[in-house]
Amino acid sequence: MTDRTQSYARAVVELATAEGALETLEDELLVVARAVDGHEELRQRLTDIHLPVAQRLAFVESQALEAAHPATRAALAMLIAANRVGDLTAIAEQVAETAAASREEEIAEVYVAVPLDDAQQRSLKEALERATGKRLDVKVHVDESVLGGVRAKIGDTVIDGSLARRIEQMRTRVGG
């Protein structure tokens, strides 16, 4: 991560903290970053410096973000106007790490095949905290390639209990 990216992440954290919305902004910014990463046309439109800034900023006021916290929309507007959308994922991840650290937690990126309800998320968090001995801020992402089970990344540690991983292990044992 560049110094400039870290500077923008710090600015976003300061904005969110001043608005009393750090946890909300942290979650929403990660969701938007993943959505932009997964939608090539939107990413191109938001990063195209040949489009007028006002046209790119229209995304912030679009129906897609109408339920977002005003601090999230303000942070996105700042990043779009500064031509930093290409760094959105890195900035969002740094904001999440900073927010988690302020709560004395670590980020756990968890990938599941289907959405989890609140009770399942609590249970998963408790299990991961027992397994790692750390307080965690669990970010759950639906990823159909997981097939079943869970794949988690906590810092440099990867816990892969996914069905896809188990099938791969069986193939390796069988020799095929």
Cα-trace Rg, the chain:
18
In this model, does residue 165 exceed pLDDT 80? no
Whole-number pLDDT of residue 176: 58
Please write the tens of the pLDDT for every residue from 13-43: 999 999 999 999 999 999 999 999 989 999 9
Please write the tens of the pLDDT for every residue from 133-154: 999 999 998 888 887 888 899 9
In 3D, which of 103, 105, 107, 101 has the Cα closest to residue 30?
107
| Residue that the structure tokens 């970053």 belong to | 33
The answer on 131 and 86 residing in a single domain is: no
Has this prediction a pTM greater than 0.75?
A: yes
The answer on 109 and 90 residing in a single domain is: no
The answer on 95 and 136 residing in a single domain is: no
| Residue that the structure tokens 């097939």 belong to | 147
Domain CATH number, residue 34: 1.10.520
Structural domains of the chain, count: 2
The answer on 90 and 54 residing in a single domain is: yes
Q: What does pLDDT average to over the chain?
A: 90
Higher pLDDT, 169 or 143: 143
* Vertex 140: Cα angle to 138 and 146 (nearest 5): 130
Average pLDDT of the segment spanning 163-174? 76
The answer on 95 and 124 residing in a single domain is: no
The answer on 49 and 36 residing in a single domain is: yes
Domain span holding position 28 = 3-100
